[in-house]
Amino acid sequence: MHWQTCIKSFQHQGGKVQLRPLRLLCPMTKVALVQVPCVLGDKLENLHRMESCLDKVQADIYVFGELFLTGYACRDMLHRLAEHIDGRSVTRVAGMAQERECSIIFGMPALSDEVPGLMHNTALAVDAEGKVQRYDKLNLANFGPFEERFWFSPGSKPAVFELEGLKLGACICYDLFFSELAKTYALKGVDALICISASPSTSREQFERILPARAMENTIYTLYTNQVGAQLNLVFFGGAQAYGPRGDLLAKCKYFEADACVVEIDHHERSLARRMRPTVRDTVGRASAPFPLENF
C-alpha cells in the first residue's frame, strides 16, 4: 500500500500563497487484475503461471479468474482435483503471498468444510501472512453451456474479504447478475466488489453493461477479472476491467490475450462519490439488506 497526496494546505510567505502537499492522509491500494490462460487439470502448471505473474506486475493484491487453479471446463476431473482450503495448492499460494508480502485472490474447486463429499466453486483470498478467507459461489450457472449445479453445491452466505486495509465483497461470475448481493455488500461498508469470472465471448456484452451499473448503484469500486483462452467448447474473452464508484472505466485488459492491469483504490474517491449520489444513505433505514448482515 502507498499513500496519495490528497489535500494541499495554503501557506502565506512574503505575501505569496504556496501550496504545501500533505501526505499520509489517504491510503491507496494497488490491485492487479490478471488474466492468463490456464491448463485444464494441471494445478502445478497453473500455480507456476500464477507465480510468474506475481513477479511481472507490482501490486498489493493480485486477482485471478474463476477456477483458475484447475481451469473451468474440467467436468468429471473436478472431484479428483478439488482440495480443502488447507491443501497443498493453497499452502503453496500462501507461501507466494508471504514471500512477496502481498495478497492473492483466485478461484478453485474446494471441498466443503462442513459436509463430506460436497464441493464448492470457491474464491479464496490469501493475505500476506498466509491467512485464508473463502467465499463459495451462491448463484451457480446452469443454463446454455454451463452445468455448475451438476458438480457444485451452492454456498450459504456472502463473504467480505479483508485484505491490505480494504473490505472486498466477493462474487463469482453469474453472482454479478443478482443486484441484491452487491447491495448487501455496499450496506456492509465494502470498498470494492471483486468479481472473478469464467465468462465466454458470448457473454461479453452483458457483463460490460452490468459492471458499471453495479459500481454506480452502490457507489463502490467494481473490479472484474476473467479467464482467457479456449477450454473445450468455451472461449473466454479476458477483458478484465475496473470501474470507479461513479461508474467510470479505470482500467481494462485486452480481449483474448494474456494481460494484466493495475488499478488504485482510493478511499477518498468512494466517500466523494457517496456525497454526490447517496444511494447507500438513502437505502439505509428504508429497506433491510437482502441478506441479513449478522450472517457475515
Whole-number Å distance between alpha carbons of 142 and 150: 8
Residue that is written with C-alpha cell 511481472 in the block: 56
Strand 103-111 and strand 61-63: the pairing is: parallel
Across the chain, the runs of DSSP E, i.e. the strands, are 2-4, 7-13, 16-22, 26-35, 61-63, 103-111, 119-126, 132-136, 160-163, 166-172, 192-197, 221-226, 228-231, 234-237, 241-243, 249-252, 259-266
pTM of the entire predicted model: 0.88
pLDDT in tens for each of the 296 residues of the chain?
Answer: 554 434 333 344 445 444 444 334 446 899 999 999 999 999 999 999 999 999 999 999 999 999 999 999 999 999 999 999 999 999 999 999 999 999 999 999 999 988 998 999 999 999 999 999 999 999 999 999 999 999 999 999 999 999 999 999 999 999 999 999 999 999 999 999 999 999 999 999 999 999 999 999 999 999 999 999 999 999 999 999 999 999 999 999 999 999 999 999 998 888 888 888 888 888 886 655 566 655 55
CATH fold, domain 30-295, is Nitrilase/N-carbamoyl-D-aminoacid amidohydrolase (3.60.110)
Whole-number Å distance between alpha carbons of 273 and 220: 8
What DSSP state is assigned to residue 230? E
CB 63 within 8 A of CB 192: no
Residue burial 98-126, b: 16+ Cβ < 10 Å; e: rest: eebebbbbbbbbbbbeeeeeebbbbbbbb
